[in-house]
Structures are given as structure tokens and as C-alpha cells.
Amino acid sequence: MTFHIMIIPTLSCPSNCSYCWGSVKNAEVMDIEIVEAISQWLNGFRDEPVHFTFHGGEPLLAGYDFFSKALPILKSHDCDDGECFQSDKGYVDAGFSLQSNLWLLDEKLADLFSQYDIAISTSIDGPKQINDYQRGVGYFDKTMKNYKMAVEHGLKISFICTFTSYSKDFYEEIYNFFLENEYNIKLHAALPSLRDSNADEWALRGEEHGQLLINLLDKYLKDLDKFEIKDFDHLAKSYFRRRGTLCTFADCMGDTLAVGHDGNIYPCYRFVGMDEYVMGNVKDKPSMNELKSSEPWKKLMEFKDFVDEDCKDCSYIKFCRGGCPYNGIVANDGEIAVDPQCTAYKMIFKDISKKANKEFKNSATLMFKKSSNSKNEEDNGFTIMDLMMKR
């Protein structure tokens, strides 16, 4: 199992997307000493390999100088007299990823990221007109221009497509945009925030979200060999393995931690900047046990117990686990509750379950078919089992 550290160099962002709750104007930027402190804190912290994700706000605001120093420090784990090396007490790094709108990406940064094999996710919400309506005029062109440059530098880039109460009505147009361009995507639903009530009018309600997922899955089952919608790959795997493979559908607490610009440690990037969710600071090198004694840890662990009780009669509890605790807390004025997207999760898990049962009935041997050959004869599409088997 990989342990996940999200590094948030700043909460600022040069973009001004209408539904975004994650950015803060003129926020401070992480100093390289904090990266050194992260690396030192992680030495001996846990046995599992560590995957680092740079997130924001917009992480590229930290600049080339920051990344050219931060990456060797995090990769090498120990430095002495300016020389970096992997020490015995160090941790095993499981790689890097970055989430960025790419506006500030230049050739130098692209070369650096390529050298460290950084997987990048960037946000585009569909064709230019729809994207710019919700993300601001000019966003699409700025991101796509640097996307092309990044690909020329050998970087692997996938897209995050956020559906809002507005864009849900254009789901076919949006789906076709990603399909025709063969862009791999992850889906996001615009949701309310603890920090910004502006996000509410764009938020998708549970039923809308659930129906959107069902509609998109129906389309995707005809195009599995053309591009990826990663969420469905995970949902199918979760359903068959009876355990969530995305943080939203697993007991996330403890396997992901986020570090803000000042070294404060939070349960996840979504809580960064909220004083009441600070669990410690990397400069103090807190142990796992010390983090476990913090109030935010205790509060999020209560979520696990709450789900065990509140969702005990739900057929999907093993691979839903109450959804995202942040979503639940936001919806319940800071108090523990299950994710209000419960309705959406039930709808899509029910749909997957119905489809999978039909497949089992149609062919007792389907389980043993090779995924590349297992086209569904009824509608010339693929099956849930194909989705589950997808690498």
C-alpha cells in the first residue's frame, strides 16, 4: 500500500473559476525549508512507499526554482553538505504527480517534470465554450496551448472534468469532446465547500450526479477501447473486490496527509488552510501516534464509526464507506455525517450491480473470457467485467 503526501505550495491561483472553493487571493508560497522539513519528517515515519502530489491553489506559482530544489530533496531523502543520497533511515518514494492548470508551465519546467516522470492532471470541463463559461474566458486556450507543449516534452497528462449544475445538461457534448480527442479523464462533481458559499449554486445534487454517472457509464461501455474514464474503472474494481479503490470509497484517514505552505499537516488537501484541522507541523516531526492524538484525527476517525452504524444496512457499505468525510462534514455544518452524494453513489452502484448480474446470467463463462475479446453481443459494447479487468 502506498502512503500519499499532498504538498500544497500555495492556495493562490491565477485562474478564477466560478465554482472553485480551493483558492485564496495572495496566499503565501511554501519555502524550500519546508520541503526539507517534509523530507526529514518522513524519514522513519512509515514503512510504506510515499507518493507525493503537488496540489493547490496552483502549485506552479511556486516557480522553477522551488521545483528544481524540491524534487531532488524529496527524491533523495537525505542531504549532507549539499549532496543528496538515499539513506537507510529514508523512505521509499513511489513517484510524483502534479495537479495544475498548466498556465505557468514553460519549457524549463516541462523538462524538469519529464526528468522526474511526473504524472500531471489538468482541469478542462469540456469544449471551449462550456469550459470557459464556468472557468472563465481564455482559460481553455491557455491550458490547451501548454498541454500541447507538455506532451511534446513527453509528459503524461490526464484531464479532470468537473460537472456542475450547468454543464450536466451538456454531458453528451462533453463526453464526445474527450472521446474524439482520446483524452483520458477523471470526473469531478462540483460540490459545496466549508470555505465558500459561492460554490453552492454550481453544486450537483445527489440525484443529478447519480443520473449523470449512469448516463456516462452507458456511453463509456461502448468506447472502453478508445479512452479512459478512470472513475468507472475504479468503481467496477471496487464492486468486484468489495473494497473501495478511490479515496472517496475507502477509509481514507491516515493513508493521505496534506502539508500546507507553512508545514502544517492536515488530513487531506481539502482541509488545508483551516486552522481547526491542523494536526501538527512537519518542523516538529510528529510521529504517526502524535498525529493520531490530534483532534482532527479523532474527528475523522469518528466518521468511520459513524459510517459503520449509519450505513450498516446498505448493500454497498464495503466499497463506499460513507463516501468522502469532507463532503459529509461540509453538508452538516462541521459535524460528522455521511457524504450527501450518498444518493449518487447508491444509484451508480445499483446500476453497476444490475449490469453485472445481467452479464453473469447471460454467460456463466464470462468470468473467464479475455477482456479484449469479450464484446457484449447484445449491444456491441463492453461489459462491466471488461471494465473491472482493465489495467
List contacts with ligand SF4 (CB under 6 A): 247-248, 252, 256, 268, 270, 311, 314, 316-317, 320, 322-326, 338-339, 342, 345-346
Q: Closest approach of Cβ 51 to ligand SF4, in Å?
A: 13
**Cα distances (Å, whole numbers) of residue 154 to 106, 107, 110, 184:** 14, 11, 9, 16
CB 90, min distance to ligand SF4, A: 25
User: Measured from the CB of residue 244, what is the shortest distance to ligand SF4 in angstroms?
Assistant: 9
- String of DSSP letters for 183-226: --EEEEE----SS-GGGGGGPPPHHHHHHHHHHHHHHHTT-TTT
Smallest gap, in angstroms, from Cβ of residue 239 to ligand SF4?
12
CA neighbor of 255 nearest in space, from 245, 263, 240? 245
Find the shortest distance in angstroms from Cβ 311 to ligand SF4.
3
**Which C-beta is closer to ligand SF4: that of 324 or that of 352?**
324
261: enclosing H helix or E strand? none
DSSP single-letter state for residue 314: -
Nearer to ligand SF4, 179 or 314 (CB): 314
Crossing angle for the helix pair 171-181 and 206-220, to the nearest 10 degrees:
40
Residues 28 and 262 sit within 8 Å (Cβ to Cβ): yes
Shortest approach of ligand SF4 to residue 293 CB, angstroms?
Answer: 20
Smallest gap, in angstroms, from Cβ of residue 303 to ligand SF4? 9
Residue 42 vs 344, nearer CB to ligand SF4: 344
Question: How far, rounded to the nearest angstrom, does the alpha carbon of residue 73 sit from its chain's CA centroid?
Answer: 24
The residue ranges of DSSP E strands in the chain, in sequence order, are 3-7, 50-54, 78-80, 83-85, 93-99, 119-123, 157-163, 185-189, 256-259, 264-266, 280-281
Residue 346 makes CB contacts below 8 A (sequence gap 6+) with 210, 314, 316
Identity of the residue, 105 or 278, whose beta carbon is nearer to ligand SF4 in the bound complex: 278
Please, which residue, 62 or 268, has the CB nearer to ligand SF4? 268
Type of residue at 33? E
Of the candidates 224, 197, 13, 227, the one whose C-alpha atom is nearest the C-alpha of residue 102 is 13
Rounded distance, CA 388 to CA 272, Å?
34
CA distance 107 to 85: 27
Distance of closest approach, residue 341 Cβ to ligand SF4, in angstroms:
8
